[in-house]
Structure 1
Amino acid sequence: MSTIKTIIFDFGDVFINLDKQGAMTNALELFEVDELPEELVSVNTLYEQGLISTEEFVEFYTDNFPKLSEKTIIEAWNYILKDFPEHRLEFIKQLAEDKTHKLILLSNTNDLHISWIAENVSFYEDFKSCFNEFYLSHEINLRKPNTDIYEFVLKENKLKPEECFFIDDTKENTVAAASLGIHTWNIDETSQDIVDLFAINKDLF
């Protein structure tokens, strides 16, 4: 009998495919830099935590890169977002129907990315409705891998870490969750798929 009662999912490269490398290459070319300056990384982080608005975020970039239009900057920011394979939607819908586990989404994201997804993924609302809780970093002002985001989820939902299972494609995020006693799967998006969750982690389920 499984002791896992709650499954916590990341969003990017778990459900929706991302092109992290392509987005970075595109940004470096666009901004004519060899690596992203610390200041840009800091602003991106603030934006993911909802600590600055979309308007302030875009304004920062247009101020720093006056040759670039707002549209170009937003397109570069959203470049990372790719397709959302429908078989993954079917998987989470089935899991929601089965009611065997509490389902939580926990994603580092931002207003521009979610707006793009809402516009371009026709079944986004269906997807969202599969979860008992849907936590986006910019809405809760917390972000992974800081342990306070996991503590927030545990406390808000009165969960025991040893009864939770967390899936994320970023190693530092699963390491942080595991440090609190949460079971984790650092999914390799290049060779694994979320629909194989139970087959790959059958020792826990």
Structure 2
Amino acid sequence: DDNLLNYDAVKDFNNILAGAVDSSVSSGAFPLILGGDHSLAIGSLAGISRHYENLGVIWYDAHGDLNDSRTSPSGNIHGMPLGISCGIGDTDLVNLYDAGPKVKPENIVLIGMRDLDEGEKQYIHDNDILTFTMTDVRMMGIADVMKQALHHLAEKCDGIHLSLDVDGLDPMETPGTGTPVDGGL
């Protein structure tokens, strides 16, 4: 796809990461993945999803990362990993490590949202994804938001993957992000 930047590098890295996460979980270890680009969530979710029938995802980020090549204004795959994991977008990335989607949209909770593209807004609306904006976090407090997120996932999910993008935090606290959005925690 001409609109996917660094495609081969992202795909190759995520295949390796998926195997490492799968091996980590298989051995009984807790996989903690730290990286510099949120596209690594493609491999992280691919590797862990084979260990759960109904994996839940808490996605703490300023962005939904639910774009595909048609809805992405930039073509950056780091704006697509959650969408890819839900089965939208490039076929090879969707089928990375195991064929098909890795998570169901109804098993996702978005937290910290404050910069969503139009395609992401539509996907969230169409799939009724539980979403907490930063306004919600400020009004309710992060503890209450997390309680609601866990309650939403607890009865239907057999595992939870937490993804925290540094741009979910305020850029005054974390100036190293390439996609800063004011108003985070």
TM range (shorter): 0.3 to 0.5
Q: TM-score normalised to the size of structure 2?
A: 0.37
Q: Higher Cα Rg: structure 1 or 2?
A: 1
Which has the larger helix fraction? 1
Q: TM-score normalised to the size of structure 1?
A: 0.34
User: Which structure has more RCO (C-alpha within 8 Å, separation ≥ 6)?
Assistant: 1
